[in-house]
């Protein structure tokens, strides 16, 4: 049996596990993720978030994608972890700093929302307006890394169905000639005009499906739009699961310092049985 907490960041849902005593190895957590995150057959989630001790910050966040791979960073997940750590008393103050594979994240929790200040993004490495085609779908993309790799596609025309987005998103994500390490694929269109916000739908690497929200995808889309002169430095990003607000400021090194604000909902405490944990094997 293992105790986990169900949390939701704008439709990106997670199981959170307290591993401050380092009881569970990475291999064990990867197996638990594949067992518990399957929709319909188990608890279902986009991934598992793990809280562990850190030698330098308040704690460490680890992210295991639904397929069992370990990811570097997840914006919506980081908001959920920040609120979880505050609720559970892992930190005793609403302001905190924690460790991820992508570096330090500073977070502030207020009610059911959290704001993150993430690692600087070097936009000198931004790759813009690269033409490509898959499955008869012609597009241009902007590529950047916000903890994890992202391709941002400013849509000329919306696709007709969610299944088409799923098909095209997967086909682009698997183009190893374009993205050797894979990428999250963000389809972006203006809310009404670009100045009023972005509509973003993301096909996530590791989840291998469309998700209701992607925090780093929201940041990547906002940076791409801002760099193209389509928006200002504060961008409202509308995902199917809710609104993420992205704020961009330039640091002294010339890198962008992104902030991400959004919801972090506490849903339930769950005891997963040994049968559930063993069913993947």
Q: Which CATH superfamily is domain 2-112+265-278 in?
A: Diaminopimelate Epimerase; Chain A, domain 1 (3.10.310.10)
Residues of the chain with CATH 3.10.310.10: 2-112+265-278, 123-261
For residue 280, pLDDT over 70 is answered with no
The domain 123-261 is placed in CATH, from the list 3.40.50.620, 2.60.40.1240, 3.10.310.10, 3.30.420.40, at 3.10.310.10
Q: Is pTM beyond 0.75 here? A: yes
Residues 6+ apart with CB under 8 A from 93: 86
Catalytic residue among 4, 37, 80, 214: 214
- Known catalytic residue: 214? yes
Q: Cα(245)–Cα(75) distance, rounded to whole angstroms? A: 12
Contact 260, 118 (CB under 8 A): yes
pLDDT of residue 70: 96
Catalytic residue among 4, 37, 74, 80: 74
For residues 154-162, give the mean pLDDT. 91
Query: Which single residue is written with the structure tokens 């989840």?
Result: 207
Residues 6+ apart with CB under 8 A from 99: 54, 56, 57, 59, 60, 61, 105
For residue 241, pLDDT over 70 is answered with yes
pLDDT of residue 162: 94
- Known catalytic residue: 74? yes
pLDDT digits (tens, 9 = 90+) for 182-219: 999 999 998 877 878 999 999 999 889 999 999 999 99
Query: Which single residue is written with the structure tokens 């559970």?
Result: 88
pLDDT digits (tens, 9 = 90+) for 72-111: 999 999 999 999 999 999 999 999 999 999 899 999 999 9
CA 174 to chain centre: 19
């Amino acid at each position: 049996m293992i105790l986990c907490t169900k949390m939701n960041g704008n439709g990106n849902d997670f199981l959170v596990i307290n591993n401050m005593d380092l009881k569970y190895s990475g291999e064990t957590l990867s197996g638990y993720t594949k067992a518990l995150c399957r929709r319909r057959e188990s608890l279902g989630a986009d991934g598992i978030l793990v809280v562990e001790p850190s030698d330098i910050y308040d704690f460490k966040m680890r992210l295991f994608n639904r397929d069992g791979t370990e990811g570097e960073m997840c914006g919506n997940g980081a908001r959920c972890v920040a609120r979880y750590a505050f609720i559970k008393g892992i930190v005793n103050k609403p302001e905190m700093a924690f460790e991820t594979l992508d570096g330090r994240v500073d977070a502030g929790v207020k009610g059911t929302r959290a704001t993150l200040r993430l690692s600087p993004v070097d936009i000198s490495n931004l790759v813009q307006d690269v033409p490509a085609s898959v499955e008869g779908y012609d597009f241009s993309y902007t590529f950047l890394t916000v903890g994890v790799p992202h391709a941002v596609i400013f849509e000329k025309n919306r696709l007709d169905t969610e299944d088409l987005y799923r098909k095209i998103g997967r086909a682009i994500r698997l183009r190893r000639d374009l993205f050797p390490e894979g990428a999250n694929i963000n389809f972006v269109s203006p809310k009404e005009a670009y100045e009023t916000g972005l509509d973003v739908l993301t096909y996530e690497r590791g989840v291998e499906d469309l998700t209701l929200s992607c925090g780093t995808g929201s940041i990547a889309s906002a940076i791409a739009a801002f760099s193209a002169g389509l928006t200002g430095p504060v961008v409202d990003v509308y995902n199917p699961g809710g609104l993420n607000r992205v704020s961009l400021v330039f640091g002294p090194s010339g890198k962008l310092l992104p902030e991400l604000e959004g919801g972090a909902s506490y849903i339930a405490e769950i005891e997963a049985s040994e049968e559930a944990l063993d069913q993947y094997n």
